[in-house]
Amino acid sequence: MSLVLVDGSMIRSFVQQTELFADRVNAIFDSLDKNADKVLTRAEIRPAIEKLNLLDMHMGEPVKLPEDELNAFYDEIFTKFDIDANGVVDKDEFRESIKDILLAIADGLGSFPLQMLVDENSLINQAAKSVRLTRTLSRYTANTPSPLSSPVGRGPSTDPISTGSPLASPVRAGTQF
């Protein structure tokens, strides 16, 4: 488990990275599809729903329900996943449903960051990671001076570390000539 700080916009931006999102969701689908017949049954999908911790999200307190209520809860979710109601969930149905659930969580979070205790492999954690990665990358590729790049910019002609760096050389050429 890890503690991540998430807000609605982080989850939304993860869902909107269509390829990355599909990639992650398909990986989860394949890991759930124990008999590899490309569809998920009720029994196969249940661990995924459990992983979303939908029940545990009320004030962070685990909710204990009687077994029959729990089954009814998972049944209801399964019927939401099974959009064409043919008794199994295919990849497209799974992805669409996960997307809806994440967007619903995003709406619930709004713009107020919330600390969540999440499973290392959970989608929420991956959303947090992917957004963190995107933010880091955009910081490195930005041309405007940022707190991170200013030490390099301070001594462009004498800084030995940045000499020969493929990233730094175009900037260097621009300032010298």
Q: Which residues in this chain contact Ca ion in the complex, by CB under 5 A?
A: 33, 35, 37, 82, 84, 86
| Helix-helix angle 67-81:42-51, to 10 degrees | 100
Closest to Ca ion by CB, 68 or 76: 76
Closest to Ca ion by CB, 82 or 124: 82
Q: Do the beta carbons of residue 22 and residue 95 sit within 8 Å?
A: yes
Closest to Ca ion by CB, 2 or 86: 86
Nearest residue to 39 via CA among 74, 96, 89: 89
- How many other β-carbons are positioned within 10 Å of the β-carbon of residue 131? 19
Q: How far from the centroid of its chain's Cα atoms is residue 57's Cα? A: 17
